[in-house]
Copies of this chain bind each other. A is one copy, B any other.
Amino acid sequence: MNDITRPATPSLGRPSDAPTLGMLLNMVRSEMVRTIEAEMSSQGLDLSFTQYLIIKKAQQLGAVSATELARAVELDGGAMTRQLDQLERKGFLRRSPHAQDRRTLSIELTEAGHAVWQNTASVCGQRVTNAAQASLSHAEQAQLLDYLERVLHTLRDKT
């Protein structure tokens, strides 16, 4: 019965039940997220992947507004407010009023925030990222990133 429902595929291509790009992205991403969170947890650091990204970006960008940060990590503004609440409660960042624009916040890592990034979070991220790509040569790793960037731009520009 399977022979009938499965239309003859050109036998040179990939098997018809091989994971497609969307499915694969789904799986690789969630596996990677899980692993990074587990790695941080094993170091006694209780951070979600989203919070990991926020701290990373905050560290890269220095003082930024919530909106800029939200754009940088592709997170909804409302969700960002709540994540900032949590990260502020944990003592990793600080909201201060913006000098020129009273609507805007200036968000910055605290000392504890910088420390947690340098000593733990970035290390966990690096370790997992390296482990994930361990079966690829350096050239292949670069190619993978390049392909993904090209796919991203194609999806955004065209469609």
The A interface, classified by DSSP as helix, strand, loop or mixed, is helix
Would you give the shortest CB distance from A1 to chain B, in whole angstroms? 7
CA–CA, A27 and B73, complex, Å: 9
Copies in the complex: 2
Which A residues have a C-beta under 8 Å from some C-beta of B?
1-2, 5-6, 14, 16-33, 35-36, 49, 53, 59-60, 62, 73-74, 125, 128-129, 131-136, 140, 142-145, 147-156, 158-159
A28 and B26 in contact (CB under 8 A), knowing A62-B1, A147-B140, A149-B19? Answer: no
Contacting residue for A22 out of B14, B32, B142, CB 8 A: B32
Which B residues lie within 8 Å of A49 (CB)?
22
Chain B residue nearest in CB terms to A149: B24
Q: How far is the CB of A8 from chain B (nearest CB, A)?
A: 15
